[in-house]
Amino acid sequence: MSDQVPIIGGTGALGYGLALRWARAGRTIVIGSRKPERAAGAAQKIAGEVSGAQVEGLENGEAAQRGPIVFLTVPFRAQSETLNNLRESLAEGQLLVDCTVPMAAAVSGKATRTLGVWQGSAAQQAQEMVPEGVTVISTFHTVSASALAGNDPLDQDILVCGERKADKARVAKLIEDIEGLRAVNAGALETARLVETLTPLLISVNARYKAHAGIRITGLPDGDHWS
Ligand SMILES: NC(=O)c1ccc[n+]([C@@H]2O[C@H](COP(=O)([O-])OP(=O)(O)OC[C@H]3O[C@@H](n4cnc5c(N)ncnc54)[C@H](OP(=O)(O)O)[C@@H]3O)[C@@H](O)[C@H]2O)c1
Protein backbone atom coordinates (compact mmCIF):
# COMPACT_ATOMS: atom_id res chain seq x y z
CA MET A 1 0.00 0.00 0.00
CA SER A 2 1.10 3.58 -0.64
CA ASP A 3 2.14 6.14 1.91
CA GLN A 4 -0.97 8.26 1.29
CA VAL A 5 -2.81 9.43 4.40
CA PRO A 6 -6.61 9.00 4.21
CA ILE A 7 -8.68 11.17 6.55
CA ILE A 8 -12.30 10.03 6.92
CA GLY A 9 -14.36 13.12 7.71
CA GLY A 10 -11.46 15.25 6.46
CA THR A 11 -13.88 17.98 5.38
CA GLY A 12 -14.52 18.82 9.05
CA ALA A 13 -12.61 20.97 11.50
CA LEU A 14 -10.08 18.48 12.90
CA GLY A 15 -9.57 16.47 9.71
CA TYR A 16 -9.10 19.58 7.60
CA GLY A 17 -6.60 21.04 10.07
CA LEU A 18 -4.58 17.81 10.06
CA ALA A 19 -4.71 17.62 6.26
CA LEU A 20 -3.46 21.19 6.01
CA ARG A 21 -0.50 20.61 8.35
CA TRP A 22 0.44 17.31 6.66
CA ALA A 23 0.20 18.90 3.23
CA ARG A 24 2.65 21.55 4.45
CA ALA A 25 4.91 18.73 5.67
CA GLY A 26 4.90 17.18 2.17
CA ARG A 27 2.62 14.23 2.94
CA THR A 28 0.13 12.99 0.34
CA ILE A 29 -3.37 13.37 1.74
CA VAL A 30 -6.67 11.81 0.73
CA ILE A 31 -9.64 13.66 2.17
CA GLY A 32 -12.69 11.48 2.68
CA SER A 33 -16.29 12.62 2.82
CA ARG A 34 -19.75 11.12 2.45
CA LYS A 35 -19.98 13.35 -0.62
CA PRO A 36 -17.09 13.12 -3.09
CA GLU A 37 -17.74 16.67 -4.31
CA ARG A 38 -17.34 17.98 -0.74
CA ALA A 39 -14.07 16.05 -0.42
CA ALA A 40 -12.87 17.48 -3.73
CA GLY A 41 -13.78 20.99 -2.57
CA ALA A 42 -11.76 20.60 0.64
CA ALA A 43 -8.82 19.19 -1.34
CA GLN A 44 -9.00 22.16 -3.70
CA LYS A 45 -9.00 24.56 -0.76
CA ILE A 46 -5.85 22.96 0.67
CA ALA A 47 -4.18 23.07 -2.74
CA GLY A 48 -4.97 26.80 -2.77
CA GLU A 49 -3.40 27.29 0.65
CA VAL A 50 -0.30 25.09 0.31
CA SER A 51 1.74 25.43 -2.83
CA GLY A 52 2.63 22.01 -4.26
CA ALA A 53 0.21 20.22 -1.92
CA GLN A 54 -0.42 16.61 -2.85
CA VAL A 55 -4.06 16.22 -1.93
CA GLU A 56 -7.09 14.51 -3.37
CA GLY A 57 -10.73 14.25 -2.25
CA LEU A 58 -12.76 11.03 -2.46
CA GLU A 59 -15.83 9.36 -1.01
CA ASN A 60 -14.99 7.87 2.44
CA GLY A 61 -14.96 4.24 1.29
CA GLU A 62 -12.57 4.92 -1.58
CA ALA A 63 -10.38 7.13 0.57
CA ALA A 64 -10.04 4.42 3.25
CA GLN A 65 -8.45 2.06 0.72
CA ARG A 66 -5.70 4.48 -0.21
CA GLY A 67 -3.29 4.16 2.70
CA PRO A 68 -2.10 1.87 5.49
CA ILE A 69 -2.97 4.33 8.29
CA VAL A 70 -6.51 5.70 8.11
CA PHE A 71 -7.62 8.60 10.33
CA LEU A 72 -11.20 8.83 11.54
CA THR A 73 -12.25 12.40 12.34
CA VAL A 74 -16.05 12.36 12.50
CA PRO A 75 -18.33 13.34 15.41
CA PHE A 76 -18.77 10.50 17.91
CA ARG A 77 -22.47 10.24 17.03
CA ALA A 78 -21.37 9.31 13.48
CA GLN A 79 -18.59 6.91 14.47
CA SER A 80 -20.62 3.66 14.40
CA GLU A 81 -22.40 4.44 11.16
CA THR A 82 -19.17 5.51 9.48
CA LEU A 83 -17.31 2.36 10.57
CA ASN A 84 -20.23 0.21 9.43
CA ASN A 85 -20.04 1.87 6.03
CA LEU A 86 -16.29 1.21 5.89
CA ARG A 87 -16.55 -2.53 6.58
CA GLU A 88 -15.88 -3.45 2.94
CA SER A 89 -13.19 -0.81 2.54
CA LEU A 90 -10.91 -1.38 5.52
CA ALA A 91 -8.65 -4.40 5.19
CA GLU A 92 -6.50 -6.60 7.39
CA GLY A 93 -3.20 -4.97 8.30
CA GLN A 94 -4.46 -1.38 8.25
CA LEU A 95 -4.34 0.90 11.28
CA LEU A 96 -7.50 2.88 12.01
CA VAL A 97 -6.64 5.96 14.04
CA ASP A 98 -9.68 7.02 16.02
CA CYS A 99 -9.80 10.70 16.96
CA THR A 100 -13.42 10.81 18.07
CA VAL A 101 -14.48 12.04 21.48
CA PRO A 102 -17.64 10.73 23.14
CA MET A 103 -19.10 14.13 23.88
CA ALA A 104 -22.59 15.63 23.74
CA ALA A 105 -23.11 18.74 21.63
CA ALA A 106 -22.35 21.88 23.62
CA VAL A 107 -25.29 23.67 25.20
CA SER A 108 -24.74 27.41 25.59
CA GLY A 109 -23.64 28.29 29.13
CA LYS A 110 -23.25 24.64 30.21
CA ALA A 111 -20.12 22.53 30.61
CA THR A 112 -19.44 20.15 27.71
CA ARG A 113 -20.62 16.68 28.71
CA THR A 114 -18.83 13.42 28.11
CA LEU A 115 -20.90 10.42 27.11
CA GLY A 116 -20.54 6.96 28.64
CA VAL A 117 -19.46 4.28 26.18
CA TRP A 118 -20.24 0.67 27.07
CA GLN A 119 -16.85 -0.54 25.83
CA GLY A 120 -15.03 2.06 27.95
CA SER A 121 -14.00 4.51 25.25
CA ALA A 122 -14.75 5.55 21.69
CA ALA A 123 -11.49 3.87 20.66
CA GLN A 124 -12.49 0.53 22.20
CA GLN A 125 -15.88 0.79 20.53
CA ALA A 126 -14.09 1.37 17.22
CA GLN A 127 -11.89 -1.69 17.80
CA GLU A 128 -15.04 -3.79 18.21
CA MET A 129 -16.45 -2.48 14.95
CA VAL A 130 -13.53 -2.64 12.52
CA PRO A 131 -13.00 -5.75 10.37
CA GLU A 132 -10.80 -8.55 11.69
CA GLY A 133 -7.10 -7.70 11.41
CA VAL A 134 -7.58 -3.91 11.54
CA THR A 135 -5.93 -2.36 14.59
CA VAL A 136 -7.24 0.77 16.29
CA ILE A 137 -4.94 3.46 17.65
CA SER A 138 -6.36 6.44 19.55
CA THR A 139 -4.91 9.94 19.39
CA PHE A 140 -5.31 13.69 18.61
CA HIS A 141 -7.83 14.40 21.38
CA THR A 142 -6.06 17.40 22.84
CA VAL A 143 -5.12 19.45 19.78
CA SER A 144 -7.53 22.16 18.76
CA ALA A 145 -8.67 22.15 15.15
CA SER A 146 -8.44 25.96 15.20
CA ALA A 147 -4.78 25.76 16.21
CA LEU A 148 -4.10 23.33 13.36
CA ALA A 149 -5.92 25.50 10.84
CA GLY A 150 -4.02 28.64 11.86
CA ASN A 151 -0.50 29.72 11.01
CA ASP A 152 0.85 30.03 14.54
CA PRO A 153 3.57 27.56 15.50
CA LEU A 154 2.35 24.56 17.49
CA ASP A 155 4.06 23.51 20.73
CA GLN A 156 2.30 20.59 22.39
CA ASP A 157 2.20 16.89 23.12
CA ILE A 158 -0.17 14.40 21.53
CA LEU A 159 -1.03 11.32 23.59
CA VAL A 160 -1.15 8.03 21.70
CA CYS A 161 -2.96 4.92 22.99
CA GLY A 162 -2.86 1.44 21.50
CA GLU A 163 -1.89 -2.14 22.17
CA ARG A 164 1.42 -2.41 20.33
CA LYS A 165 4.28 0.06 20.55
CA ALA A 166 5.30 -0.67 16.96
CA ASP A 167 1.85 0.40 15.68
CA LYS A 168 1.86 3.51 17.86
CA ALA A 169 5.34 4.36 16.56
CA ARG A 170 4.04 4.41 12.98
CA VAL A 171 1.32 6.86 13.97
CA ALA A 172 3.81 8.85 16.08
CA LYS A 173 5.94 9.37 12.96
CA LEU A 174 3.00 11.02 11.23
CA ILE A 175 2.17 13.10 14.30
CA GLU A 176 5.75 14.36 14.53
CA ASP A 177 5.79 15.24 10.84
CA ILE A 178 3.67 18.17 12.00
CA GLU A 179 6.10 20.78 13.27
CA GLY A 180 5.67 21.49 16.98
CA LEU A 181 3.92 18.24 17.90
CA ARG A 182 5.54 15.53 20.03
CA ALA A 183 3.87 12.11 20.24
CA VAL A 184 3.77 10.61 23.74
CA ASN A 185 3.08 6.94 24.39
CA ALA A 186 0.12 7.01 26.83
CA GLY A 187 -0.38 3.26 27.10
CA ALA A 188 -2.80 0.56 26.00
CA LEU A 189 -5.99 1.24 24.05
CA GLU A 190 -8.07 1.16 27.24
CA THR A 191 -6.18 4.28 28.42
CA ALA A 192 -8.14 6.13 25.73
CA ARG A 193 -11.03 6.30 28.22
CA LEU A 194 -8.93 8.75 30.24
CA VAL A 195 -7.47 10.67 27.31
CA GLU A 196 -10.86 11.18 25.65
CA THR A 197 -12.05 13.06 28.74
CA LEU A 198 -9.27 15.65 28.29
CA THR A 199 -11.09 17.19 25.33
CA PRO A 200 -14.00 18.66 27.33
CA LEU A 201 -11.46 19.78 29.95
CA LEU A 202 -9.49 21.69 27.32
CA ILE A 203 -12.67 23.12 25.81
CA SER A 204 -13.50 24.49 29.25
CA VAL A 205 -10.01 25.99 29.74
CA ASN A 206 -9.89 27.39 26.22
CA ALA A 207 -13.31 29.00 26.58
CA ARG A 208 -12.12 30.82 29.71
CA TYR A 209 -8.76 31.94 28.29
CA LYS A 210 -10.02 32.50 24.73
CA ALA A 211 -7.13 30.30 23.58
CA HIS A 212 -6.43 27.14 21.60
CA ALA A 213 -4.19 25.52 24.21
CA GLY A 214 -3.10 21.90 24.17
CA ILE A 215 -1.17 19.87 26.75
CA ARG A 216 2.48 19.29 27.60
CA ILE A 217 3.79 16.33 29.64
CA THR A 218 6.90 17.46 31.51
CA GLY A 219 9.96 15.60 32.69
CA LEU A 220 10.20 13.00 29.93
CA PRO A 221 13.70 12.01 28.79
CA ASP A 222 14.99 13.79 25.66
CA GLY A 223 15.43 12.03 22.37
CA ASP A 224 13.55 9.49 20.33
CA HIS A 225 11.62 7.16 22.62
CA TRP A 226 9.78 5.33 19.85
CA SER A 227 12.53 3.16 18.41
N1 LIG B 1 -12.59 20.12 16.50
C2 LIG B 1 -11.61 19.90 17.37
O3 LIG B 1 -10.89 20.83 17.78
C4 LIG B 1 -11.35 18.51 17.87
C5 LIG B 1 -10.23 18.27 18.65
C6 LIG B 1 -10.00 16.98 19.12
C7 LIG B 1 -10.88 15.95 18.79
N8 LIG B 1 -11.97 16.24 18.04
C9 LIG B 1 -12.88 15.14 17.70
O10 LIG B 1 -12.67 14.84 16.34
C11 LIG B 1 -13.89 14.47 15.72
C12 LIG B 1 -14.16 15.41 14.56
O13 LIG B 1 -14.35 16.71 15.08
P14 LIG B 1 -14.70 17.93 14.12
O15 LIG B 1 -14.79 19.13 14.96
O16 LIG B 1 -13.76 17.91 12.95
O17 LIG B 1 -16.15 17.49 13.61
P18 LIG B 1 -17.07 18.10 12.46
O19 LIG B 1 -16.35 19.20 11.77
O20 LIG B 1 -18.41 18.39 13.05
O21 LIG B 1 -17.29 16.85 11.49
C22 LIG B 1 -16.25 16.25 10.78
C23 LIG B 1 -16.81 15.59 9.54
O24 LIG B 1 -17.56 14.44 9.90
C25 LIG B 1 -18.53 14.21 8.89
N26 LIG B 1 -19.83 14.00 9.52
C27 LIG B 1 -20.57 14.86 10.23
N28 LIG B 1 -21.73 14.31 10.64
C29 LIG B 1 -21.73 13.07 10.15
C30 LIG B 1 -22.63 12.00 10.21
N31 LIG B 1 -23.80 12.11 10.86
N32 LIG B 1 -22.29 10.84 9.58
C33 LIG B 1 -21.13 10.71 8.95
N34 LIG B 1 -20.21 11.72 8.84
C35 LIG B 1 -20.52 12.87 9.45
C36 LIG B 1 -18.61 15.43 8.02
O37 LIG B 1 -18.01 15.12 6.77
P38 LIG B 1 -18.88 14.95 5.42
O39 LIG B 1 -20.19 15.67 5.64
O40 LIG B 1 -18.03 15.61 4.41
O41 LIG B 1 -19.04 13.50 5.24
C42 LIG B 1 -17.79 16.45 8.77
O43 LIG B 1 -17.11 17.36 7.92
C44 LIG B 1 -14.97 14.55 16.80
O45 LIG B 1 -15.22 13.28 17.33
C46 LIG B 1 -14.36 15.49 17.82
O47 LIG B 1 -14.85 15.26 19.12
C48 LIG B 1 -12.22 17.47 17.56
Question: Can you give the CATH number for the domain in which 11 is found?
Answer: 3.40.50.720
- Planar angle of CA 52, 170, 97, nearest 5 degrees: 85
| Residue 54 clears pLDDT 90, i.e. is over it | yes
Is 221 a domain residue?
no
Which whole number is the average pLDDT over 33-59? 98
Mutate to test the pocket of ligand 1, among 74, 140, 148, 203 (most ligand atoms within 8 A of CB): 74
**Ligand 1 midpoint to CA 16 (Å):** 10
CA distance 28 to 45: 15
Range of the domain at 15: 5-209
The whole-number pLDDT of residue 1 equals: 54
Is 74 a domain residue?
yes
Is 38 a domain residue?
yes
CA distance 127 to 119: 10
Asked if residue 76 has its Cβ within 6 Å of ligand 1, the reply is yes
| Residue 197 clears pLDDT 60, i.e. is over it | yes
Asked if residue 9 has its Cβ within 6 Å of ligand 1, the reply is yes
- Predicted TM-score (pTM) of the model is 0.97
- pLDDT band, residue 165 (cuts 50/70/90): very high
The whole-number pLDDT of residue 109 equals: 66
The whole-number pLDDT of residue 227 equals: 83
Is 219 a domain residue?
no
Mutate to test the pocket of ligand 1, among 8, 14, 62 (most ligand atoms within 8 A of CB): 14
Asked if residue 100 has its Cβ within 6 Å of ligand 1, the reply is yes
The whole-number pLDDT of residue 217 equals: 97
The whole-number pLDDT of residue 139 equals: 98
Listed residue (180, 102, 99) closest to 140, CA to CA: 99
Which whole number is the average pLDDT over 204-212? 95
**Ligand 1 midpoint to CA 73 (Å):** 5
Reported as type and span, the H/E element at residue 171 is: helix 165-177
Counting the structural domains of the chain, the total is 1
Is 37 a domain residue?
yes
The whole-number pLDDT of residue 224 equals: 81
